[in-house]
Structure 1
Amino acid sequence: MPASSSLHLAYIRYLLLLFLHLVHVSTSAADAGAVTQQYQGRIDIDPVPEPQHHAPTLQHPEATVPNIAIREAITTTIPGPKAAINMGNTPSASDAEQPKATTSRPRSSNNTQQPRPSIQDPQPHASPEPLFTTYASQPTNAGWTGADSTFSIPLPDGRILWLFSDTYLGPLSANGTRPTNARMINNCFMLQTSDNNLTTITGADRTAIMPPPAAGHWYWVGDGLVSVIDGSGEVVQMVFQEFERAGDGGLLQIKFVRNVVATFDLGGDSFSRPVRVDPLPSAAETMWGGAVMTAARSGDGYTYIYGARGDALNKTMRVARVSGTDLSRVGEWRFLRAGGEWTAEESEAIDVVTGVANEFSVTPWNDGQFVLVSQDSFVPFSNRILIWYGSNPFGPFERWEGHDEVYRMPEVGVWGSYGDADVVGYNAHVHPELQEGDRWTMSYNVNSMDGKIGEDGDNYRDPSIYRPRFVSFRIVPS
């Protein structure tokens, strides 16, 4: 693609997002060479570091704007050979001692008799948004200056581990713009201490924490939790989704490969590299990890893993669960099927909700109820964030028509705060650890579909676009 065509790229990409598949090109994955090997269902991370690379330049215009804003257009078509992944996980003796997630009926499916959530007093720029903005703008900051996904894991010592997908690293230029050679990696963490100090965590030499498993592959992060494996000490686990460049590597030649779970030691600087990576169910074209609800929050002893499946419009949510907190116990994963029953067959999983984004959240509320918060995917590039409610962590979930809007993202579109038709918002989720009484906090991501790599490119001339926003709101029963 000649550089002269970049002026029209935003409009073309807008149309592609509506009607075509997978238009994101991963910058970090373009030259990745690290290789992983699989032994008995576990993926061993190769110790060879990734080759260094930077954000694309005008000499390589085919490598365009980051990130999983574009993933909203994904149709999760998995290449045939990749679909059948041999998990190789024989349940251990300790697994066998755990209660089995076999069949369970909903506690109640009559949501209309339950209190409905009423959203009141939304407040933009909630904490920790100002903290993130200040950190990114420091002239000496060589770490995080903008990213998306924005999952969070509260740690036992009071710290918060923030999980990001495509991430620009600093520093910014003296005039506040982003250098066109700014480094971009496909995943990183940020550690927030109880006294609000931030530290960016990357792999060696400022590479992605999850090294690409092969050339032309990369990982985007999903949700996670603090887990206990086989009764031993606590660890941190999170889902990652692997993608690959296929065919000729063009804009449309990108495919979802599989889901994996990465395990990290808890404490110190151990978050810079996983200690183990295990494959997760992936054959049913569901991208698991769009949300995770811990067993402590679900209240029934199960950790729930939520996934998204489908096209750009009207994505559907599916639900899996595992007893306890160890996501790597793949032999114990069960999937919600018709009739409110649970099955070991991923292919039997049903669509629970239509209209979700790739990332969302399911959160306990009102002593026995649960709410689902997601960007509206019924409408392309919608600026609306909606809420559903139910009496079980696995649904059914309903919308209270006319009262189901949590927030409208003000940055989006030509009438938004940037006055830019290329600016989009996506992937909203609630952060329960930031809850204060009935006031909750959620984040959403903002990005530009402008494909220009240069001083006049949206994400370079104005780094504030590509950062998460935080909104607090009251949620009360009605």
Structure 2
Amino acid sequence: MARIWAALVALVFALVGFLATATPARGDTAGLNAFFASYHADTGSSVALGDGRTLWLFGDTFTPAGTFRRNSAVVQGSDSVVRPRSGTFAKASAAGHWYWPGEAVREGTRLRVLAMDFTCAEPCGAWDMRYERTDVLTYRLPDLAYLGRVSLPRRTSGAMWSQLHAARDGYTYAYGSYAVTGQLGKAVEVARVPSGSVSCVSCWRYLGTRMGTSMELGTVVSVVRKAAGGYRLYSKRLDMWSEEILAYDSATPYGPWGSRRTVTTTPQDSGRWTYTVEAHPEQGAGTGRLALTYATNCPSLCGEYHLTAITVSAP
């Protein structure tokens, strides 16, 4: 009898161990990468919803069912299980237009999402898309019901507002990248708005171009707060033309930025390239670690979108 009980106890512990392994812990990049292997999407940003859940927003997406969407979303529960939402998360503003989502920020019982509006004249080639403007979309929490949109004014630089950072100085900062003719890398404009007021268009204050092409940034910059104070910016260097993920430091969310370093490199094979690095501090990647994702595709926009999650030393 003692042997039987010992065997049962051992079986229980084995099952507990199996379940703990089968359900990926928050910050487990292996679990995220297993999901990304079947959910082919790009430009993945994430935001904590304040109740233990995390919302992930994606651009072009091929779902496991084989459907294509211009944008999609999944909810990562407090149990770390990822549950895709049906349909397109951000509905197009007009016929012939689509949204590619940027980052989101939680403001009380509202979620604000920066969504870039694009269109394309027929016949629409792989690189013929045209940026129109960025809208701020509002969703209700906790059910993520859509409540409406407001449009940000088009800047003369053509800056595509896509990134947000809720700082601790009473402001939320926005970052918009734009190309400069004849120069590699993107320049980045910075704006700020009082905390809780991202959807108040008249509240935005534009601080001008704070990051030049000499920083060799890609289209997306992702800003996080450093544990010891100050801020760190991550970006894929020059998007498709390099393997490097860069980091810069600043005492403020708007620069000046310095202490440039390469934090890691991304694999390049069979003509594929990587782009759009995003930081995910809410993932709790472990002591002294920060989760990043980057997207992969091929130069002809082959549709083989893929995200990869990695961890780097936390700032």
TM-score (norm 2): 0.83
Amino acid at match of 1:407: T
Shift in Å, 1:351? 3.9
Shift in Å, 1:283? 3.0
Indicate which of 193, 199, 202 corresponds to 1:322.
193
Amino acid at match of 2:111: V
Amino acid at match of 1:197: V
Paired with 1:380 and 1:391, the residues of 2 have a C-alpha distance of 29
Within-5 A mapping of 1:376-387 = 376-377=237-238, 380-387=240-247
Paired with 1:136 and 1:357, the residues of 2 have a C-alpha distance of 22
Paired with 1:433 and 1:127, the residues of 2 have a C-alpha distance of 8
Structure 2 gaps, min length 5: 1-25
1:353–1:217 CA distance, 2 compared to 1 (3 A): same
Within-5 A mapping of 1:49-448 = 127-135=27-35, 145-171=39-65, 182-202=66-86, 206=87, 208-228=88-108, 234-246=109-121, 248-268=123-143, 270-271=144-145, 274-284=146-156, 285-289=158-162, 291-294=163-166, 298-311=167-180, 313-336=184-207, 349-354=208-213, 355-377=216-238, 380-400=240-260, 404-410=261-267, 412-413=268-269, 420-421=270-271, 423-435=272-284, 436-448=286-298
Amino acid at match of 1:307: G
Paired with 1:366 and 1:188, the residues of 2 have a C-alpha distance of 32
Extract structure 1 runs of 4+ deviating beyond 4 A.
none
Q: 2:3 is matched with which residue? A: none
Amino acid at match of 1:473: V
Paired with 1:434 and 1:353, the residues of 2 have a C-alpha distance of 30
Please give the per-residue CA displacement for 1:234-278, whole angstroms capped at 9, x wherever unaligned.
11111000011136534453211010011111123x35xx21111
SS of equivalent to 1:149: coil
Paired with 1:184 and 1:248, the residues of 2 have a C-alpha distance of 19
Structure 1 gaps, min length 5: 1-125, 138-143, 172-181, 229-233, 337-348, 414-419, 453-457, 460-465
Please give the per-residue CA displacement for 1:81-133, whole angstroms capped at 9, x wherever unaligned.
xxxxxxxxxxxxxxxxxxxxxxxxxxxxxxxxxxxxxxxxxxxxx94443244
Please give the per-residue CA displacement for 1:13-68, whole angstroms capped at 9, x wherever unaligned.
xxxxxxxxxxxxxxxxxxxxxxxxxxxxxxxxxxxxxxxxxxxxxxxxxxxxxxxx
Paired with 2:93 and 2:132, the residues of 1 have a C-alpha distance of 11
Does the 8 A contact of 1:225 with 1:292 survive in 2?
yes
Does the 8 A contact of 1:127 with 1:470 survive in 2?
no
1:451–1:150 CA distance, 2 compared to 1 (3 A): closer
Amino-acid identity (%): 27
Paired with 1:224 and 1:136, the residues of 2 have a C-alpha distance of 20
Amino acid at match of 1:163: L
Pick the structure with more strand per residue. Answer: 2
Amino acid at match of 1:314: G
Paired with 1:252 and 1:359, the residues of 2 have a C-alpha distance of 18
Does the 8 A contact of 1:313 with 1:380 survive in 2?
no
TM-score (norm 1): 0.56
Please give the per-residue CA displacement for 1:168-201, whole angstroms capped at 9, x wherever unaligned.
1123xxxxxxxxxx21101111100111111111
SS of equivalent to 2:42: strand
Aligned length: 284
Does the 8 A contact of 1:146 with 1:169 survive in 2?
yes
Paired with 2:118 and 2:40, the residues of 1 have a C-alpha distance of 21
